[in-house]
Amino acid sequence: MEFAFTEEQNMIRDTAESFLREVSTSGAIRDVMVTATGYDVSLWHSICRDLYWQAIHTPEAYGGMGLGYVELVATQEQMGRFLLCSPFFTSVCLGINALLVVGSEQQKQTWLPRLIEGKTASLAFGGEVISRRGGGWSCDVVDATWQRQGDTYVLNGEYRYVLDAFSSEFLILAARQDGSEGSDGISLFIVDANTAGIEREALPTMDQTRRQGTVTVNGLKISPEDRLGEEGRAGCQLQTILDLATIALAAEQMGGAQQVLDMTVAYSKERSQFGRTIAGFQAIKHKAADMMLRVEVARSGVYYAACVAQEAMEALANDAAIDTDALSEAASIAKSYCSDAFFKNAGEAIQIHGGVGFTWEYDVHLYFKRAKASEHYLGNGAWHRERLASLLLDRDGLDQDLSLQEGAL
């Protein structure tokens, strides 16, 4: 696959870079970190009104710009570079994607314009089982339950590690039918976050630039009109939503890895030791070269995955079948490498900065914390490599051959 940005894509990326360089400064990030929402509400409304990023890949029929997933990923990369504190990832990469994947035509007409106007949403799907899965995030971690009581659905359960849980205006909830396992019995519902029966609690985390929370539903009543997709058959669609979001998150991680490289190179040119700047030392050059190599390989994985995601979105628009295996493979390739690249680069940045790398005044620690939090959200590198191996073995039929060989031994 040969990939090159179009003129329009270059313009979108460059516009995002110049805008975020101006508004998402170190001081601005630190100011919003201590606010109730965790982001600048006026800045978010400005992005929605003036730049229209939240509508970037939504079809024009629903009020969007009708661009592609590559454009979305290019924007996400810049947000990761400048550590933008905003509900973009949750509202667009989780919320809008969920509606595009599983929503009916009527639901898309109803809900997508609201999110494009700047309303915020998040996806809550995993419960306590996430903590016991060793870094794995898939539709298997859904443990909240739903039951039918007449014409009403009643949900009970707890959702953990929900991004922007406390500030989102709408929630998309995943729940499974009592007694179901795996991807069976899962349904998705969209509700107002202030509906009776929903309790939200902020979850303190090491990454103060992106809020998480716990959502508890106790006897939450939902009408059938607010169910997304077919009853009990949304498991595969939920996995598609998660894979699309994983690719977007990987782009953000890649952008962060690039930024800590840039920060480190700039610092090494200023810091003097033994009569010259440390950028002149071979050991520092080797570390910087390794950091750059991680970024470039991560970029290749991200934009390959973005192209696969674009094909999936085009299939959705044409009511065609999605190649879910290809999408899952691409998502795992991107996330496994970008998680490692961002975290390793952030760690190297702290080492090269020396003592000041640990101080509050320098921004390196903010990227390190974001790197660690993003590494685990939607699956860490080890889990994605294991999933990728499983997908490849299943696709090629090698799992059966290996099991036969093991039996012979």
Going by pLDDT thresholds of 50, 70 and 90, the confidence category of residue 259 is: very high
Q: Which CATH class is domain 123-228?
A: mainly beta
Report the phi/psi class of residue 40: left, alpha or beta, with left for phi > 0 and alpha for psi in -120 to 50. beta
Over range 38-65, report the average pLDDT.
97
Going by pLDDT thresholds of 50, 70 and 90, the confidence category of residue 130 is: confident
3-class DSSP assignment, residue 65: coil
Over range 229-235, report the average pLDDT.
95
Q: What tokens appear for 215 in the block?
A: 């959502």
What is the reported pLDDT for 131?
A: 78
What is the reported pLDDT for 133?
A: 67
User: Rounded CA gap, 251 and 245, in Å?
Assistant: 10
* Mean residue pLDDT across the chain: 94
Whether the pTM exceeds 0.75: the reply is: yes
The residue assigned the tokens 């691409």 is: 330
What is the reported pLDDT for 278?
A: 85
What is the reported pLDDT for 129?
A: 85
Q: Provide the H-helix boundaries in 271-379.
A: 282-317, 324-353, 364-376
What is the reported pLDDT for 355?
A: 87
Over range 49-75, report the average pLDDT.
97
Over range 125-141, report the average pLDDT.
81
Distance of CA 52 to the CA centre of its chain: 19
What is the reported pLDDT for 396?
A: 66
Q: Please say if the pLDDT value at position 226 is more than 60.
A: yes
Going by pLDDT thresholds of 50, 70 and 90, the confidence category of residue 273 is: confident
What is the reported pLDDT for 409?
A: 47
What is the reported pLDDT for 402?
A: 45
What is the reported pLDDT for 398?
A: 55
Q: What tokens appear for 137 in the block?
A: 């995030």
Helix (H) or strand (E) holding 214: strand 212-222
What is the reported pLDDT for 404?
A: 45
* Lowest mean pLDDT across 130-139, 152-161, 190-199, 221-230: 130-139
Q: Please say if the pLDDT value at position 134 is more than 90.
A: no
* Lowest mean pLDDT across 84-88, 274-278, 323-327: 274-278
Domains 7-120 and 123-228 share a fold: no
Q: How far is CA 216 from CA 14, 69, 138, 175, 222, in A?
A: 41, 32, 20, 12, 15
Residue among 329, 165, 347 at smallest CA distance from 256: 347
How many CB atoms neighbour CB 344 within 10 A? 16
Domain spans in the chain, listed from the N-terminal domain onward: 7-120, 123-228, 235-405
User: Rounded CA gap, 59 and 108, in Å?
Assistant: 10
Instruction: Express each pLDDT in 286-342 by its tens digit.
Output: 999 999 999 999 999 999 999 999 999 999 999 999 999 999 999 999 999 999 999
Going by pLDDT thresholds of 50, 70 and 90, the confidence category of residue 271 is: confident
Going by pLDDT thresholds of 50, 70 and 90, the confidence category of residue 136 is: confident
Residue 199's DSSP bridge partners are 216
User: Rounded CA gap, 109 and 101, in Å?
Assistant: 14
Percent of the chain whose predicted confidence (pLDDT) is above 70: 95
What's the CATH architecture for 7-120? Orthogonal Bundle (1.10)
User: Rounded CA gap, 373 and 121, in Å?
Assistant: 20
Q: Please say if the pLDDT value at position 4 is more than 80.
A: yes
Q: Which CATH class is domain 235-405?
A: mainly alpha
Instruction: Express each pLDDT in 197-221 by its tens digit.
Output: 999 999 999 999 999 999 999 999 9
User: Rounded CA gap, 265 and 268, in Å?
Assistant: 5
Instruction: Express each pLDDT in 142-188 by its tens digit.
Output: 999 999 999 999 999 999 999 999 999 999 999 999 889 888 999 99
Q: Please say if the pLDDT value at position 346 is more than 80.
A: yes
Going by pLDDT thresholds of 50, 70 and 90, the confidence category of residue 357 is: confident
Q: Please say if the pLDDT value at position 116 is more than 90.
A: yes
Q: Please say if the pLDDT value at position 135 is more than 80.
A: no
User: Rounded CA gap, 177 and 155, in Å?
Assistant: 10
